Amino acid sequence: MEIFNFTPYGDVTIGYQWDSKAMASENYTKQYYRRRIHAKKTYSFTVSGLQLTALVKFYDRHKGLLEPFYFTYDGVTEVCYFSQAINPRCKRENGIIKAYSCEVALEVDRQVTAYPAALETDELPAPYGETDQVFDWHTQLVTAGQRTERRARQTKPIRTITGKWSGLKPERDKLIRLFNSHCRVPLTFRYNGEVLKVVFPDKLEIKDKRELKTIVGYECQMELEVVD
């Protein structure tokens, strides 16, 4: 197979998704069924340069989204496919294309990185800046004529915490490891003096902040569900 040798420019977004199946009962208790051994992994980034023809020929040789190729990022080489059509934006001078930029989206065929087993004692890093919380009892409201009847459906509220995470590469690597290890297995989260058990969302997107080709930090946003 060929190697994708076009260098990403600027930030690179890495996505991980479990596609877990959720079954909710009437009292909003949820059970999750894991359908993947490894989370689905994707990349999205911008490539740019002077030779648009080389990118188009590479895309055409692989028949768009059909044929696989190798892509190396952060020291890991994986088999990938294009996951969407390319749409180059061309910069022209006097009717001649001088440079281009193009958003590229890739899907990894199968992750090759091995992650350790999940432990509930694993601890999630603290978010940066503001966080939002929701406490929802999911009280059922039934309107009959001029009256509204209310029916309790839960013995305690569903609590979620939404925040933004950012930091240097070691923390970024830890967050990726935790997400890929845990899926829907709870882990520890220290929040405003509380020690909570939380579960990750089904999908995580990490935006790598880079200087030249070096990952120096990251940022992401998550909604965590408190389970204890």
H-helix or E-strand spanning residue 204? strand 203-211
CB 59 within 8 A of CB 80: no
Three-state DSSP class for 186? coil
C-alpha to C-alpha distances, 15 to 42, 59, 93, nearest whole angstrom: 5, 22, 36
Single out the residue of 208, 213, 219, 206 nearest to residue 41, CA to CA: 206
DSSP string, 75-108: TEEEEEEE-S----EEEEETTEEEEEEEEEEEEE
In whole angstroms, give the CA distance from residue 207 to residue 82.
19
Residues of the chain with pLDDT under 50: none
Residue found by looking up tokens 């768009």 in the block: 64
Residue ranges of the chain that CATH labels 2.40.30: 1-114, 117-228
Tell me the two tokens of residue 176.
């990726």
Tell me the two tokens of residue 219.
């940022």
> Which CATH code for domain 1-114?
2.40.30
117-228 has which fold?
A: Elongation Factor Tu (Ef-tu); domain 3 (2.40.30)
Q: What is the pLDDT of residues 168-214, one digit of tens each?
A: 999 999 999 999 999 989 999 999 999 999 999 999 999 999 998 89
Residue 141 pLDDT: 87
Write the DSSP symbol of residue 123.
B
Residue 25 pLDDT: 64
